Every structure is written in C-alpha cells, then in structure tokens.
Amino acid sequence: MRHHTTIAMRHRAPPRTVSKNAVWRPTRGFSGPVESVDEPARAPVSRRAGAVLVAAVVVNALVLAPVVGSVRFTGAGGSAPNVYAPDMPTEPPALRLPPAGTVTPSPRLVPETVPKAPSLSGLDLSERFRGYLEERPGQVGVAVYDALTGRTITVDDPTVSGFETASTVKLSILLGILERAGPSGRLGAGELRSARAMIGVSDNAAASRLWRSLGGAAPMDAMFRRLGMTRTKAGGGGRWGLTLTSAVDQLAVLRTLAYPGGVLGDQARATATSLLAGVVPAQRWGLPGGVPAGVAVEVKNGWLPRDSGWVIASLGHVHGGGRDYVMAVYSRGNPSMRAGIDTVEGLSRIAWDAAVAPVAVAARIR
C-alpha cells in the first residue's frame, strides 16, 4: 500500500537482570535432559563434623521436601505452570544448567531510569504511520494536529479521491447547528434532544432531522468551504453518510469544536464537549485506543458496510497527561468491521506514544 506524506520511534525494552544459576537435582516427573554439573572439590572432614553435616542434610530434607515436591521443572518440550508467578502472560523458559567448567558472573544491577518523553516529530510519526499501514488491509488516511506544537501530520492513500464519512459527518452537523445558534451556543429544546441522540447513540433519524433543518447539502458545502475543507463534498439527496472527505479536512471540524479562535464561542464549544461526553461506551472505540485511563477523549465514530468492504472512521480530541491533539482516521475496503477498528486503534496508540509529554507527567502515567 502506498501513502503520501505531507510532513516512528522504536520502543526499547529496559535491560533485564538475570538471576544467579542454582544447582538443583531433578525431582520425579522431570522430563528434560540432565546436564553435567560442576561438583565442588570435597575437603576432608572429621567424623564429628561429618555426623553434624549428615544431620543438617536430613533436617533440611525434611523441612524442604514439601516445597520441592510442589515445584515442577520443565525440560525440552515440557510444560508446567509457574506457581510463583501466576500473572505472567507466558511461561518462562525451562531452567538450563551451564556446562561443566562455566563460570557465571554475578548479575549487574541496572538503575531504573525514566525514559525521555518523545516529541511528536512530523517525519518520525508519519514514517511510523506508513510502516504500520503497510501491514494493514484496506485504504487509509490519517491526520493529527498537535495543539502543543502547532504541527500537523498527514498520511494519505493516493488511490482514494474521497473517503465516505458515514456517521462522523454528525460532528459537522453538530457544528452547523451550533454556528447557527450564535455566540450563546444555546440550542432549542428540540435541537438539543436531537443532538443528544445523534451524538450519544449515533441516531440516524435525529441526524436526518438536523441535516434537513440546516438546508441539506448546499448549505453544508458552504460551511465546508468557509472552514477551508477543499476535499469535502456533502452527500446529495439526504444521504449525509455518503459525504466524501479526507482526514486532513476533518481536522478543521475538530479544531473548531475543540479550540478557541474559530467560529464558535466558548459556550458553544462547551455544549459540544458535553454532548460528546455522552457517547455510549459501546461506541467509544477507535481513537481512545492506547490512551491511558483518566485521559479525556471526545470521540465520534462512523461505520458503514459497502460492497467493497467496511468503511470505518474515527474523529477524536485527546487531552490530558501532558498531551493535547485532535486526530482523524478514515478507512475503506476493510474485510470486517473489527479489522477496521483494529487499524484505527493501532494508529491511535502510535499517535499517543509520539505526542509531546513532559518527563514528569510521562513518569506518572506509565
């Protein structure tokens, strides 16, 4: 898949310490190979010392027998649970003893350090997006605007002239009725009821009512032009879900709803934030992917099955944990709804990891 970029960063796991090797004797049920073990040279001992040593061995055997009997080691091809680490996702490798004559150095302790937080570098992030999308099905466009740096990153599929918005156009409808309400941003009772249904549960009938109240495709196209959305065309005949757009165009809608300085006043933007906070949990997939709990994410998704595959789209505003950005992802030709959601959430994780965060904040949210 080829992508155009208009503008990743590898995660390196911290070094792991290795515990000291211990000499052990295989217990009953051990299925692995017994390897040679260095035996220490035996120094001559007196009869009295020998008797004491024998007694100590007997006592230790009686005390440790229940413990040793409860531990199973695995050999080549064997399998046994790790009774001391039940939360480990995978079983550790079987214990292997060093060959005779091997000297095992003591482990080196490595102090734990807080990694330097990455910055949202345009080139690095676009490369990470493109590398990830090479392995994903369908056609995808993604755009991010970072409010802390003022940087915009976009990756587009040159084979797509426009992505269907599906239900993400409902954010544009919301913007239209809030702009119409004027500086107060106060919606009438009927408008507010329809807006809650349209955003909270993605109600199509409510969206159609508000679309018609705005005058349909022609007035919506005029709004898109005012916002500088040159690649967006409203769906005709009341088919608002077939509006065509690009990810970078949708950043204009997101920035107008999320940040001051646009056509909406503070009260209107507060109304939008309140409505987006009411999105039901079942529809909060997509751009919350990879974002830690406690970080605010306002999200509106769209999904539409087509003959050519699923259309999956997600628009969101992520703010908290030292980050503040808006992001748009559009995809088509997905073999399933789940595949499209997985692609969006993978891109979301990459964006979160790459966004600017002070080191102190990054340490707290790890």
User: What pLDDT is recorded for position 124?
Assistant: 87
| Secondary structure letter of residue 179 according to DSSP | H
Are 328 and 312 within 8 A, CB to CB? no
Task: Decide which of 84 and 43 is more confident.
Answer: 43
pLDDT at 338 over 70: yes
Q: In which element (H, E) is residue 145 found?
A: strand 139-146
Which residue type does 91 have?
A: E
pLDDT at 128 over 60: yes
Q: Where are the alpha helices (DSSP H) in 74-168?
A: 122-133
CA nearest 242: which of 314, 174, 169?
A: 169
Task: Decide which of 182 and 81 is more confident.
Answer: 182
Task: Decide which of 168 and 33 is more confident.
Answer: 168
Sequence-separated (6 or more) residues with CB below 8 Å from residue 129: 3, 5, 8, 142, 153, 155, 347, 350
Instruction: Please measure the distance between the N-terminal and C-terminal CA atoms of the chain and give it in whole angstroms.
Output: 33
User: What pLDDT is recorded for position 357?
Assistant: 56
Sequence-separated (6 or more) residues with CB below 8 Å from residue 55: none
- CA pair distance 175, 144, nearest whole angstrom: 19
Are 331 and 137 within 8 A, CB to CB? no
Q: Where are the alpha helices (DSSP H) in the chain?
A: 47-70, 122-133, 169-181, 189-200, 204-213, 217-226, 247-258, 266-277, 337-354, 359-365
What confidence category does residue 259 fall into, taking pLDDT thresholds of 50, 70 and 90?
Answer: very high
What confidence category does residue 113 fall into, taking pLDDT thresholds of 50, 70 and 90?
Answer: very low
Looking at the chain, the whole-number percentage of residues with pLDDT higher than 90 is 62
What confidence category does residue 3 fall into, taking pLDDT thresholds of 50, 70 and 90?
Answer: low
User: What pLDDT is recorded for position 62?
Assistant: 41
Over the stretch 23-65, which tens digit does the pLDDT of each residue have? 334 333 333 333 333 334 444 445 554 554 444 444 444 444 4
What confidence category does residue 363 fall into, taking pLDDT thresholds of 50, 70 and 90?
Answer: very low
pLDDT at 170 over 70: yes
Task: Decide which of 152 and 3 is more confident.
Answer: 152
Sequence-separated (6 or more) residues with CB below 8 Å from residue 37: 23, 97, 100
Over the stretch 174-207, which tens digit does the pLDDT of each residue have? 999 999 999 888 999 999 999 999 999 999 999 9
Q: Helix, strand, coil % (nearest 5) of the chain?
A: 40, 15, 45
> Which CATH code of 3.20.20.70, 3.40.640.10, 3.40.710.10, 3.40.50.300 fits the domain covering 122-365?
3.40.710.10
pLDDT at 121 over 60: no
Over the stretch 264-305, which tens digit does the pLDDT of each residue have? 999 999 999 999 999 999 999 999 999 999 999 999 999 999
| Secondary structure letter of residue 27 according to DSSP | -
pLDDT at 250 over 90: yes
Q: Where are the alpha helices (DSSP H) in 182-244?
A: 189-200, 204-213, 217-226
Over the stretch 5-18, which tens digit does the pLDDT of each residue have? 655 333 334 444 43
